[in-house]
Amino acid sequence: MSSKADSTWRGVGRPGRGELLISEIFGPTLQGEGPSAGKSAAFVRLGACNLACVWCDTSYTWDSSRYDLASELVAKPTAEVADKALSFGVPLVVITGGEPALQAVEAARLAEAVTRSGSAVELETSGSLPLGPLADAVRLIVVSPKLANAGGRPQARLRWPVLEAISVLPHSVLKFVVASPEELAEVDEITSRLQTKPERVWIMPEGTERETVLARMAELTGPVASRGWSLSSRLQVIMWGNDRGR
């Protein structure tokens, strides 16, 4: 096993067969971001991540230097996770993280179980790891390639073969976390290389405080609109700040 793989799971008990490593399951709430913003939803947040974004607002899913992951995360049977997500009675279940691709096989089984019961499944991923069976098990894939503002090595953040494979899927969109209009030049480069149509690009302001999100949305509106992209809010931050389980 590589040292990178070791560091990804450091402080985390790997889930067994038929299990998912869970941070939290909550609902009913609203999807706050991207194409489904405002829709009634439940969230399944998985533990562990292969990246370490400096602005990450869910670092309790992976950062063993700041959190006791043994108490933050728990392995649960996939069937139990599906039942809990469906118990909220909402039409949309969002699988997020952490990085769900680290648990692609069981996450796909979760998505399939939810879909069979009549709810749609949306996946949030960094696009830095192959999705395997998870790609075809969900209705929408929201891919969030990490810009330089996330920190880390470019070759870890932007794995082009993986991004290219996911971005060509007809049910995928790109969502970029941006702190200033100047960072849109980086988005220009990525979307040009991936040949992504403007209607499949979403820009979301970085921030965990209401005032920051609103101010950055105002700054980004013109440059985003002029490119034909869409601007995403962070409704959960506007309504509840950085509260967990919202």
Q: At what angle do helices 104-116 and 78-86 cross, to 10 degrees?
A: 40
CATH number at residue 142: 3.20.20.70
Question: Of 128, 134, 116, which is closest to residue 171 (Cα–Cα)?
Answer: 134
For the chain, how many structural domains are there in total?
1
- For residue 203, the SS3 value is strand
Tell me whether residue 224 is in a domain.
no
Tell me whether residue 241 is in a domain.
no
Domain that holds residue 161: 3-173
- For residue 231, the SS3 value is strand
Q: CA 211, CA 205: separation in Å to the nearest integer?
A: 11
Question: For the segment 185-216, what is each residue's pLDDT rounded down to a tens digit?
Answer: 999 999 999 999 999 999 999 999 999 999 99
Percent of the chain clearing pLDDT 90 (strictly above): 93
Tell me whether residue 229 is in a domain.
no
pLDDT of residue 216: 98
Tell me whether residue 42 is in a domain.
yes
Mean pLDDT, rounded, for 112-141: 99
* pTM for this model (two decimals): 0.95
Confidence grade of residue 14 (pLDDT, cut at 50, 70, 90): confident
Q: Side chain identity at 189, as an amino acid letter?
A: E
Residue 5 has pLDDT above 60, yes or no: no
Tell me whether residue 197 is in a domain.
no
pLDDT of residue 112: 99
Tell me whether residue 146 is in a domain.
yes
Contact 138, 111 (CB under 8 A): yes
pLDDT of residue 130: 98
Tell me whether residue 7 is in a domain.
yes
Residue 61 has pLDDT above 50, yes or no: yes
Contact 120, 139 (CB under 8 A): yes
Tell me whether residue 187 is in a domain.
no
